[in-house]
Amino acid sequence: MILMQKNIAVIRGDGIGPEIVEQALLAFDKIGELYGHTFTYTDVDMGGIAIDKWGDPLPTDMLEKCVNADSVLLGAVGGPKWNDVPGDKRPEKGLLRLRAGMGVYSNNRPAKIWPQLADASPLKASIVAKGIDFIIVRELIGGIYFGSHTTEEVNGEKNAVDVLQYSESEIERIGRIGFETARKRSGKLCSVEKSNVLDSSRLWKAVMHRLSAEYPDVELSDMLVDNCAMQIVKDPSQFDVVVTENMFGDILSDEASMITGSIGMIPSSSLGASSNGLYEPIHGSAPDIAGMDMANPIGTILSAAMMLRFSFDMPAEADCIERAVSAVLDAGYRTADIYSDGCKKIGCAEMGQRILENMRKE
C-alpha cells in the first residue's frame, strides 16, 4: 500500500459551512488512521467571512493557498448579511473567482437516489422505481456568470445587461468531458441547450456534433433546456450523462438533486487540467439553520469521498466512506432534511459521528 501525504485547502465559509466541513475533516482523519495516509489542512477564508475580515470575498493570498494545495474542500458561502454589498464584492463572487482561478471548468454533479431515501423523493413511487442515476456535467467557468454585468441608466430608466458568451474551445473541452464520462458509463450523452433561441446554444450544439464523430461509441442526443427541466421530473430514468453550459447546469442540478430526496445529499467535483480539484456539496449556506446542529453533512462527506477518488486516486478509501454513509442510512438515521416517518432524527454532529463509526477497511 502506498502511504500518501496530502495537503487540503479547507474553506469552511458561511452559514452551515463550518459545521458540515468539520464532519468531513473528521472523515479524512479517520481515513488517515485506517489507511496510513497523512492529511494536513490549510485554512482559507472565502465568502462572507472573508468580506468581514479582509474586505474581499477572495483575497489573492487565499486563492494562492487553494492553487498550491493538493485539493480544495469547500462548505458553502453567502448569507443575508452580505445581500446589499456590490455585485463584484458578494460572497458568491469569491466562489466564482476561485473556480476561475483554479481553472476548474468541469463540474460533475451526480443525481443518484439512495434506495434508503426513496420515500424522501417528492416524485411518485412509480417514477422513482424506474431508477434515478445520472450525472450533470456542468461547464463552470464560462457563459453568463462570467460575462460582463452592467446596470446603466438608459432613457430615464435602469437597464441591466449580462453577457452570455462561449468560444468553440471552451465548449469543446467540456464536451470532451461529457463524451468521456458517457464512455465510462452507459455510452449515452444528452447535450442540453436552447438552440431554438440562443446563438451560444447553436454553437454549443454544432461543437457537440462535430466532437461526436470522434466518439462513435457514444450515442449523442440533444435536448432543449426547458424540455429537459420537464423530463427530469417526468422520467429521470432516461438520463445517464447530461452535458450543459454553466447557468443551465446550475438550475438543472438543483432540480435533479431534489428528486433524489434532498439537496443536502449531493456532492460535486470541479476539475480542470490538473488533479487539484475543488470539492463541495451543491447546496448553499442555509443561514436559517446555521449553528443549530441541524444541517446534513452527507453532501460534504461524500465530496470528501469524491476528492479521494478523483484527485488522490484512492478508490478504496472513497468506497470506505460511501459504504459507511449507506450503513448509517440503512440503520434508519436521518437529518431533518431527509427524515421520513419511522426513522431516527439526528443532528449534524451525530450524523458525522455515526458515519465515522461505520468506516471500516475492507
Taking CB under 6 A as the criterion, the residue among 70, 250, 317, 337 binding ligand IPM is: 250
| C-alpha cell of residue 143 | 457563459
Q: Does residue 306 touch ligand IPM according to CB under 6 A? A: no
Name the pairing type of β-strands 106-112 and 269-271.
antiparallel
Q: Does residue 307 touch ligand IPM according to CB under 6 A? A: no
Name the pairing type of β-strands 241-244 and 188-193.
parallel
Q: Which is nearer to ligand IPM, 78 or 297 (CB)?
A: 78
* Cα–Cα distance measured from residue 219 to residue 241, given in angstroms and rounded to the nearest whole number: 11
Q: Which of residues 30-89 bind ligand IPM (CB under 6 A)?
A: 78
**Binding span for ligand IPM by CB under 6 A among 43-51, 90-98, 176-184, 220-228:** 90-98
Taking CB under 6 A as the criterion, the residue among 95, 208, 218, 306 binding ligand IPM is: 95
Q: Does residue 228 touch ligand IPM according to CB under 6 A? A: no
Indicate which residue of 105, 145, 215, 333 is catalytic: 145
Q: Which of 286, 311, 287, 288 is nearest to 299 (CA)?
A: 286
Q: Which is nearer to Mg ion, 136 or 321 (CB)?
A: 136
| 194 catalytic per annotation | yes
The one-letter amino acid code at 171 reads I
* Cα–Cα distance measured from residue 57 to residue 76, given in angstroms and rounded to the nearest whole number: 13
- Rounded to the nearest whole angstrom, what is the least distance from the CB of residue 76 to ligand IPM in the complex? 8
| 184 catalytic per annotation | no
Helices (H), 119-240: 125-128, 168-184, 199-212, 225-234
Q: Please report, for residues 168, 169, 246, 251, the alpha-carbon distance to residue 203 in angstroms, rounded to integers and kept in the order given.
A: 7, 11, 15, 21
| 226 catalytic per annotation | yes
- Residue 57 interacts with, from ligand IPM, Mg ion, none (CB under 5-8 Å by kind): none
Q: Which is nearer to ligand IPM, 187 or 287 (CB)?
A: 287
* Cα–Cα distance measured from residue 66 to residue 79, given in angstroms and rounded to the nearest whole number: 22
Q: Which of 290, 284, 355, 268 is nearest to 28 (CA)?
A: 355
> Closest residue (Cβ) to ligand IPM?
92
* Cα–Cα distance measured from residue 233 to residue 124, given in angstroms and rounded to the nearest whole number: 10
| 29 catalytic per annotation | no
- Residue 32 interacts with, from ligand IPM, Mg ion, none (CB under 5-8 Å by kind): none
**Binding span for ligand IPM by CB under 6 A among 91-99, 178-186, 190-198, 292-300:** 91-99
Q: Which is nearer to ligand IPM, 45 or 250 (CB)?
A: 250
HEC string for 247-294: HHHHHHHHHHHHHCCCHHHCCCEEECCCCCCEECCCCCCCHHHCCCCC
* Cα–Cα distance measured from residue 270 to residue 139, given in angstroms and rounded to the nearest whole number: 9
- Residue 92 interacts with, from Mg ion, ligand IPM, none (CB under 5-8 Å by kind): ligand IPM
Indicate which residue of 194, 205, 279, 337 is catalytic: 194
Name the pairing type of β-strands 71-76 and 106-112.
unpaired
Indicate which residue of 29, 119, 254, 319 is catalytic: 254
Residues 6 or more apart whose Cβ sits within 8 Å of residue 125: 118
* Cα–Cα distance measured from residue 196 to residue 256, given in angstroms and rounded to the nearest whole number: 23
Q: Which of residues 236-275 bind Mg ion (CB under 5 A)?
A: 250
Q: Would you give the binding string for ligand IPM spanning residues 278-297, x where CB under 6 A is met? A: ----x---------------
Q: How far is CA 143 from the centre of its chain?
A: 18
Indicate which residue of 250, 279, 333, 337 is catalytic: 250
Taking CB under 6 A as the criterion, the residue among 22, 29, 56, 92 binding ligand IPM is: 92
> Closest residue (Cβ) to Mg ion?
250
| 52 catalytic per annotation | no
Q: Does residue 280 touch Mg ion according to CB under 5 A? A: no
- Active site (catalytic) residues: 145, 194, 226, 250, 254
Instruction: Please report, as ranges, the residues that interact with ligand IPM according to CB under 6 A.
Output: 78, 92, 95-96, 250, 282
Instruction: Please report, as ranges, the residues that interact with Mg ion according to CB under 5 A.
Output: 250
